[in-house]
């Protein structure tokens, strides 16, 4: 079978490799689609620890082709999505229910072979059923959606809440939709690219702003802004210092700012604790997808989240190394690697 292998920092190749054999608790899954994520690019550049040689790809779904001897509840031919993040279940964080903080966290597509391949092995406890009639490309969105769901859960959005989403990549565009589903009546997206602002408004954002054109603190939370005084919830989905600072300033007194974006390790920003304290802004961070993958799969299956329009390109495994080793093209939201192409 073919697999895209990270063989060292800056060394990514599609190779012919042996098809894996499922262990007793594994599913052998024929990959239908696997999304390219910023983390794959970080892994390529050595900005995120991994264990080469390894097959990348952690946003995958596909069809079960074989099952191990101890597998139950899954059958050959079922479509599944894999939660790539494997917690040990035994460390102090796991036993306290904080599985995303597991001391021994292993991820499919980072520490063990992933979904940029014709086949991937998925431990049965990491697999979630998807409907047979689902568009085979859509299952690849379960993982990023599950990460967004954790952020939404932490945000405490209520019916009638006002929300700002900072950053209009796939995470931001999913967050806009989840905020609407959670009952927010005002959802404002801030992102620089006009095509993404248009798309966000079509996906449910009530307004969008260009942070490069105007002072967005004033435009949104100023006395004559869209939500004078600030919003109930800010979802930071850009991963840059500027937006993290904006998140703290756009939240109303008593509001919540959730940081989903990943800033480069070692980079710092300057915030004013006095301002945070006197406005009692709740600053929280959201990491990975603890216990949200099942709900993400159900949401994708329900069709209530528009993902088709987030797919910018579908590429083959042969084309995939060029995609991952280069920055995203302008306007691109999600590139899917489709082994069948």
256 - beta bridge partners? Answer: 233, 282
Partner whose binding site includes residue 94, from Zn ion, ligand NAP, none (CB under 5 to 8 Å by kind): Zn ion
For ligand NAP, which is the closer residue by CB, 280 or 308?
A: 308
Interatomic CA distance for residues 83 and 102, integer angstroms: 15
By CB atoms closer than 10 A (0-12, 13-18, 19+), residue 319 is middle
Query: What residues from 38 to 57 belong to the interface with ligand NAP (CB under 6 A)?
Result: 38
Q: State the residue for tokens 């999304």.
A: 35
Partner whose binding site includes residue 297, from ligand NAP, Zn ion, none (CB under 5 to 8 Å by kind): none
State the nearest-atom distance from the C-beta of 160 to ligand NAP, in Å: 25
Per-residue contact flags (x/-) with ligand NAP for residues 287 to 306, judged by CB under 6 A? xx------------------
In DSSP notation, 37-87 reads: -HHHHHHHTTSS---SSEE---SEEEEEEEE-TT--S--TT-EEEE--EE-
Sign of CA dihedral 258, 261, 264, 269: negative
The only residue of 107, 129, 262, 283 in contact with ligand NAP, by rule CB under 6 A: 262
Closest-CB residue for ligand NAP? Answer: 169
State the nearest-atom distance from the C-beta of 88 to ligand NAP, in Å: 19
Interatomic CA distance for residues 42 and 207, integer angstroms: 32
In terms of phi and psi (left: phi > 0; alpha: psi -120 to 50; beta: otherwise), the region of 73 is: left
Residue numbers at the binding site for Zn ion (CB under 5 A)? 87-88, 91, 94, 102
The only residue of 161, 243, 248, 292 in contact with ligand NAP, by rule CB under 6 A: 243
Task: Give CA angle at 134 (132, 135), nearest 5°.
Answer: 125
For Zn ion, which is the closer residue by CB, 100 or 124?
A: 100
Please choose, from the candidates 37, 299, 333, 35, the residue with its C-alpha nearest in 3D space to the C-alpha of residue 177.
299
State the nearest-atom distance from the C-beta of 330 to ligand NAP, in Å: 8
Partner whose binding site includes residue 313, from Zn ion, ligand NAP, none (CB under 5 to 8 Å by kind): none
User: Cβ distance 248 to 283 under 8 Å?
Assistant: yes
- The H-or-E segment that residue 189 falls in is strand 186-190
Span of 84-92, 110-118, 125-133, 282-290 interacting with ligand NAP by CB under 6 A: 282-290
For ligand NAP, which is the closer residue by CB, 15 or 295?
A: 295
For Zn ion, which is the closer residue by CB, 106 or 206?
A: 106
Q: State the residue for tokens 């620089």.
A: 192
Partner whose binding site includes residue 262, from Zn ion, ligand NAP, none (CB under 5 to 8 Å by kind): ligand NAP
The only residue of 106, 193, 206, 312 in contact with ligand NAP, by rule CB under 6 A: 193
Interacting residues toward ligand NAP by CB under 6 A:
38, 144, 147, 166-172, 190-193, 196, 211, 237-240, 242-243, 260-262, 286-288
């Amino acid at each position: 079978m073919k697999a895209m292998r990270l063989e060292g920092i800056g060394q990514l190749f599609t190779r012919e490799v042996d098809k894996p054999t499922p262990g007793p608790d594994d599913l052998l899954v024929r990959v239908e689609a696997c999304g390219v994520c910023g983390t794959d690019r970080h892994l390529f550049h050595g900005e995120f620890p991994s264990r080469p040689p390894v097959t990348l790809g952690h946003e995958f779904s596909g069809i079960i082709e074989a099952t191990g001897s101890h597998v139950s509840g899954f059958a050959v031919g079922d479509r599944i999505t894999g939660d790539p993040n494997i917690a040990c279940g035994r460390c102090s964080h796991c036993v306290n229910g904080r599985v995303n903080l597991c001391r021994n966290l292993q991820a499919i597509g980072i520490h063990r072979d992933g979904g940029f391949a014709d086949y991937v092995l998925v431990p049965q406890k990491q697999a979630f059923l998807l409907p047979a009639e689902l568009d085979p490309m859509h299952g690849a969105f379960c993982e990023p959606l599950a990460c967004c769901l954790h952020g939404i859960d932490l945000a405490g959005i209520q019916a009638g809440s006002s929300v700002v989403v900072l950053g209009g990549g796939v995470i931001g565009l999913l967050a806009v939709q989840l905020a609407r589903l959670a009952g927010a009546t005002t959802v404002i997206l801030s992102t620089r690219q006009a095509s993404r602002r248009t798309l966000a408004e079509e996906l449910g954002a009530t307004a969008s702003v260009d942070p490069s054109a105007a002072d967005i603190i004033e435009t949104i939370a100023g006395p004559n802004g869209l939500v004078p005084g600030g919003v109930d919830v800010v979802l930071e989905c850009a991963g840059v210092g500027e937006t993290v600072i904006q998140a703290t300033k756009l939240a109303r007194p008593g509001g919540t700012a959730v940081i989903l974006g990943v800033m480069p390790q070692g980079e710092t920003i300057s915030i004013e604790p006095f301002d945070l304290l006197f406005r009692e802004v709740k600053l929280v961070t959201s990491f990975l997808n603890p216990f949200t993958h099942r709900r993400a799969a159900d949401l994708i299956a329900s069709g209530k989240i528009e993902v088709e329009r987030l797919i910018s390109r579908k590429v083959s495994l042969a084309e995939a190394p060029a995609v991952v080793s280069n920055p995203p093209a302008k306007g691109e939201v999600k590139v899917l690697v489709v082994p069948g192409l």
